Structure 1
């Protein structure tokens, strides 16, 4: 399916020399853009890429070898403050003389910036079509010029110092595979039952005893982490509240598998080519599902009631998720890893 992309394409025989990419949204939304932008850099290393984003989500882009320069905007999620700060940055942005702007935000604020920059070419993200955000990102970038954009997941970090120390300090056993559990769906209807996670772990350990399960949750979810850790003991590496977004991103890159509800951590996994099982319920798979052959989305689109978008299940039983048993998810994971190993 084609997204509805507004664009003024670049008409040159060669790609634009200098491009500004804009994305000001949440962490997961920003991370989604990275493998597609990296596809530009891999194919056309002479192209200069700048990123304009929020300060709160800039650490991961700053940590990888991709952008030639990153402009970080304060103001948190206050659009008015962001806009004022962006206007103050305009003289610096004008000095860059961009040939093209890729607007992956597409709101009134980014439209004004794009207009003020006066670039010869631009393309604008489609916020409404029933297509995954990743695919809409790819199509937005392709609308700028004649290049073919792929899902390039091979990120290189500028530094990985501290990750080994963090893992060993919290119980990592040398030679063990890492599987990330992420029971972090923001509302009750998006939560796979905690006993399902622990039952999955016990089933997995029987076949893969040298496995540890990593929790990278926010402090507000410490009760969930405590439950899982109590059930699986030293097979759990509990980094709840101990790992920041960049450390989580790096640890996920080292992981063999990620099982996640709909949250930013799920996007951190598939954009790095890590085998990912996404557990969706009221979430829209067509908008948010992970991409790539290494990803599977177990969702509710086949049910008459789903995806409902509700925070509380109408039936009170989260049936769109509870029907996916630990043994079923374990079989899906084994198939996914077997397929990844042959690709």
Structure 2
């Protein structure tokens, strides 16, 4: 779908004092905004304040990095009515800030309400339904303001780079080993590579490169998979899913210590590639044109070459998830090594 980019560019000779950026959901999408806003931050004066508006459920993503001067969030869970109520209570506070620019990276009824209520001198909003990546959409919307050109900047500064280090060490990490993250966290069966494939992949990797140690970290939703990997790989893998778990801040810091990430389509996948960590993603039914990792340090094995590809279905209509089952552990490891060699990491 071809869309028109809606915006009103900055016309003043002086630079804006305050910019509000809006992205309300979800975890991965908020993560994708970071390297593009980081590029903007680096190219505008330090005196120009950057504020961020998001939802309570995902604000820890933005709070984990040194980027924004202030972060606002609304409550309401997944209820649009409750989100609206929370937003209406917040609007007077936002109005006091007298934003010169509003960059709407969400473009829904709530974010448009914010922009119209604040009535900034300049504004832009994403092409929400265009067949381009989220990163490209964010970049175009930010550049439409006319302040500067931006690019993908993965040099994010964490507020607490040592978060999670004690948990990692207590769970069995040997600091002399490189960390390879295995992330079997796709939301549906059509986004899942068979868990046995991860075991074989790890065994093949360990045979070639003994100084590697594997890690599973993230949501409790993959607890059973993490326990299976621990049972099969024993001391070669660290399980940070079970037990007390990890916070978003800790996951961010731990991922930044990693050497490589093999991942299904998930929020953690986006945390990895926006942090500049070499990332190979297995996409299955996900639309790779919308949300594949970006940058030379990323590679996406996706389904766009198949007639049924990018289907977005939760259950495969052919019952075999061919878009992922066709990839053997040997093939994926070969692609891993190729990626690492290409970027000079191997």
Query: Is TM-score (shorter-chain normalized) higher than 0.5?
Result: yes
> Which residue of the partner structure matches residue 308 of structure 2?
305
Q: Counterparts of 1:219 and 1:65 in 2: how far apart (Å)?
A: 27
* Alpha-carbon distance in structure 2 between the residues aligned to 1:17 and 1:339: 42
- Cα deviation, 1:114-134, whole Å, max 9, x if unaligned, reads 101010100001110000111
- Summarize the Cα distance change of 1:64–1:144 in structure 2 as closer, same or farther, 3 Å threshold: same
Matched position secondary structure for 2:343: helix
Which contiguous aligned blocks of 4+ residues in structure 1 show a shift greater than 6 angstroms?
A: none
Q: Distance in 1 between matches of 2:268 and 2:345?
A: 25
Provide the secondary structure at the position in 2 that maps to 1:313: coil
Deviations 1:247-274 (A, max 9, x none): 1111111111111111111111111111
Cα deviations by residue, 1:23-59 (Å, 9 ceiling, x for unpaired): 1111111111011001111111332100011112111
**Residue 12 of structure 1, CA deviation:** 2.5
Q: Is residue 215 of structure 1 aligned with residue 216 of structure 2?
A: yes
Cα pair distance change 1:176/1:231, threshold 3 Å = same
- Match of residue 204 from structure 1: 205
Preserved CA contact (<8 Å) 1:217 1:225: no
Provide the residue aligned with 2:12 in structure 1. 12
Deviation at 1:320, TM superposition (A): 0.9
Q: TM-score, normalised by structure 1?
A: 0.96
| Contact 2:160-2:249 within 8 A present in 1 as well | no
1:295-334, CA deviations, whole angstroms, 9 ceiling, x for partnerless residues? 1110111111212222122222111111111111111111
Superposed, which structure 2 residues align to 1:320-335 within 5 Å? Answer: 320-335=323-338
- Does residue 269 (structure 1) correspond to residue 272 (structure 2)? The answer is yes
Q: Distance in 2 between matches of 1:271 and 1:4?
A: 27
Q: Secondary structure at the match of 1:341?
A: coil
2:221 paired with 1:250: no
State the match for 2:229 in structure 1: 228
Aligned partners of 2:64 and 2:248 also within 8 Å: no
Count of residue correspondences: 343
Q: Which 5+ residue runs of structure 2 have no aligned equivalent?
A: none
Matches within 5 A, 1:99-138: 99-138=100-139
Deviation at 1:3, TM superposition (A): 6.3
Change over 3 Å in CA distance of 1:314–1:2 after alignment to 2: closer
Please list the CA deviations of residues 62-107 of structure 1 after superposition, one character each: whole Å capped at 9, or x if unmatched: 2211101111211122221111111111221111111000011100
Unaligned 5+ segments in structure 1 are none
User: How many Å separate the matches in 2 of 1:161 and 1:212?
Assistant: 19
How far apart in 1 are the matches of 2:283 and 2:234?
27
Tell me which residue corresponds to 1:42: 42
Query: Alpha carbons of 1:192 and 1:222: their partners in 2 closer, same or farther (altered >3 Å)?
Result: same
